[in-house]
Structures are given as C-alpha cells and as structure tokens.
Chains A and B, each alone.
Chain A
Amino acid sequence: MTGGIRRFIWAKRSNQLRGYKNKMKMKLRYAPMISLVTSIGLLAFGLWSGEASALWHKAVTICLSCVGIG
C-alpha cells in the first residue's frame, strides 16, 4: 500500500500532474470496493441470523460420517 501511496504523492507533486491524474481517474478500480462492501454485508447478515453460533455448534461436535467413519 505504501508503495502505491508514495507513487501517488510523487505523481501529484511532479510537473506531469495533469496527464497522470487523468490517467488515474480513468483507472479507478471499483471492483474491490464493491467486493468489500458485499463481504461486510454478508458477514453482518450471517452474524445477525445466528450463523456464528450455528457454526460453533457444528464445529464442536465430532461428525463421524463427515470424516469418513461410520
């Protein structure tokens, strides 16, 4: 992250600002932000619907058929 920020600051301060800034504006990546917001939404919904507790109940019980015994 620091490398990207450093390059951003460098680009801002340099006399090539206009061309570089326009280039960067065009290349803003929305996909990771959308993915992040969706993941937080899913996580929150899962916690709200009690999936963390349900997962704990499944994880603390030895399921013999799940590991191939019985």
Chain B
Amino acid sequence: MSLATIWAWFTDPANWQGTDGVPNRVLEHLLYTGLTLLIALVVAVPLGAWVGHSGRLRWLVTGANAARAIPTLGLLFAVSMFVGPLIQSDLAFVIPSITVLVLLAIPPLLSGTYAGIDSVEPAARDAARGMGMTGWQVLTKVEAPIALPLFLSGLRSATLQVIATATIAASVSLGGLGRYLIDGLASRDYVQMVCGSILVAVLALVADGLLALLEKRAVSPGISGRATRVARSRARNSDPHSEPDPDGADRSDPDSRQAAVVGSGSTGPVEATAATGTPSERDRP
C-alpha cells in the first residue's frame, strides 16, 4: 500500500457514486452526527443551564463525565440486543446507534453548559436582576453570552467525538463512513479502510474548523480575552492616566479562560476525546 494506491482510491469515479460512494456515506455520517447532536443538545443544554444556574445536582455533571468511561461498542451491542427484538424495522439499528452516540455527546455538552453558566460572576447576575431584567432576560442577555465560549468548547468536543465514533453504526449494519472500515476489514481491503479513516479525520477537522470560526465570531471580545490583550499592550505603551489596578491578578481571568477553550477544542479528535473533567475544573487552577 502506498500513497499512490490511496490516491487511486480517491480518484476512482466508482468510489464517488451510488450508495457506497463517498458523498452518500459522508451524508449519512453527517446525518447521524447531526441527529445525535440535536438530541444531546435538547437534553444537555437545559439541564446544564439549570444546574449551573441553581447550583443544585452538580453530581449530575460529574456523573455524566464518569459515564464517558463506558465502552461505546459494548454499550451499542447491549442496547441493540435489548431494543432489536422490540422493533421490526431499520430503526432497530438506528435507535441503539443514536442512543449510544447521544450518551457520548451529553457529558461534554452538559459540563460545557454548566461550567459556562457557572462562570458568570455572581455580581453580574445580581446587577442584572437588580436593574430589572426578568429571569429570561438575565438568561439570554447576560448568562448565555458569558457562557458561550465554554459551551462552544463543549460542543466542539462533543462534535469531534461523535464524528469519530459514528463509525460504529456500521458495525450494526447501518451506513456512514464506518462502512469503509467494517467492509474493508471484512474483505481485507486495507486501502479502503485507510481512505475511510482519512475521510473521518477530514470531516472532523472541517467540522471543528467551522465551529472554531463560529466561536471567533459569536463570542464577545470582552470575554474571549482578545480585548484584554489589546488593552494590555496599549496600557504598556501609553495611557499614563490609567488608575493602578489593585485587582490586576483577577482581571487576567478571561485570558486563562480563553486558553482553556482553545486547548480543549483545537487539539484534534484524539486529545479532545481523552480530555476529561469539566472545563471549569481545567479553567480554575
């Protein structure tokens, strides 16, 4: 096997057509990923926001993180055996696959949302209420924008994991890019396996890149630390009138938070999957 054979596989028109073709498999893969993330978001975001807001049931977040240790493939077979006989259609495989992936996606989303809401300074929340914001306004105008970077870091982590793990759907006879791996293994077509892996990796990187772009656009410079860095360099150069900052050490917080966000998201699938603990734990030395 050489680069040439891989190149040949990718340039063979036969691999780009029909059910078995790359476009269809990518589409299936994205469909599983999208559906999984949608369900996981619906479950994890309100729950995480509530835990972060109320400070109650924090063990849910810790528990969910511990649940990451459950082997995904084993769980898939277990759920399939349990659900399979109950349903007489393709759903017999779809439901277990999506369930397993959702369980995988929930912990990073849950802890990201929780840590994001939890990172809102009590004083900011108090001021928001005291100035006459309704509960909903406090959530949407103050808590959500401040929570955004940590939430997005959770979303990126979840997306990477789901894209990487959605390959297992093929092991219970579904589609997606996992087909290339399973079929390649069955027919000892290692070139096909390698190409399938490359496709998964590229898909993961593209998705992560898009989310990184979104993060850059959506997160306020006041939180991401971009603004702080500009101010620091400006303060060093001029601005002799600025008052001494007695809390200077505390003010570096946005910077360290940004560092944590970047660190957990842009390191690629392997490290992102390996990263354990909630963002807040990593965020606060």
Co-assembled chains A and B = no
Which residues of A approach B to under 8 Å, CB–CB?
none
Which residues of B approach A to under 8 Å, CB–CB?
none
